[in-house]
Homo-oligomer: A and B are copies of this chain.
Amino acid sequence: MSIRQSLLAILDQGPCYGYQLRSEFDRRTGSTWPLNVGQIYNTLDRLERDGLVEKANTDDAGHVYYAITDAGRADVVRWLGSPVVRAGNTRDELAIKLAIAVTLPGVDIADVIQVQRAASLRVLQDLTKAKNAVTQPESADDLAGLLIIDSLIFQAEAEVRWLDHSESTLARAVAAGVAGALPLSTETPKRGRPVKSVEPRPAGGER
């Protein structure tokens, strides 16, 4: 959703053609996640389909310009005015992986964590290096690039911290005798309406 919204927001500044949109996007995001050109045209088609942009003129050079519509402008305002919600919506791949891994028999969780930690740390170091290489921001796109690097750094730091925290949590759990493996639920759930349980577990609650 972010690419779509980003392109729309850029188009809010004035009509653009596809290739131009890519360079504008790359420039504004510090070329951290370069965009495949083909994707621009797909996205433009879909934006047009949804009535958020429309084909404008084609100039002598053959550039096909797209212009934002009123509905598109409204969408940009809504986007900028409402927060991004991640928890609750976006599934966190790493969290899921570790959570699943904990419930798996024959998996060395400590090892999984260490491998991840090493990788995250390496990423963090690369990011720090990249940040140090950045000169004082002179323009808004320099600033944007800096923001993105910072974001990745903050996230990577949190990741490492969480991994450390998880490691000790797990060590404590093992010491407390909580098993590291969870077998498949043996009792097949009965069909039909289940007996009203005292335990307030929301759904699928057999254990």
Contact = CB atoms under 8 A, between A and B. Distances in A.
B158 A9 contact: no
Given A115-B82, A123-B87, A139-B207, A13 B162 contact: no
Interface in A66-102: 79-88, 90-102
A193 interface: no
A42 interface: no
Interface string A127-171: 100000000111111111111101110111111011001100110
Interface residues of A, number: 107
Contact of A83 (B3, B92, B118, B138): B118
Nearest to A105: B13
A182 interface: yes
Nearest to A91: B33
A200 B139 CA distance: 17
A115 B77 CA distance: 13
Contacts of A101: 9, 80
A3 B97 CA distance: 9
A62 to B, nearest CB: 9
A173 interface: yes
B98 A179 contact: no
B180 A29 contact: no
Interface in A1-39: 1-3, 5-6, 9-10, 12-14, 16, 20, 22-31, 33-34
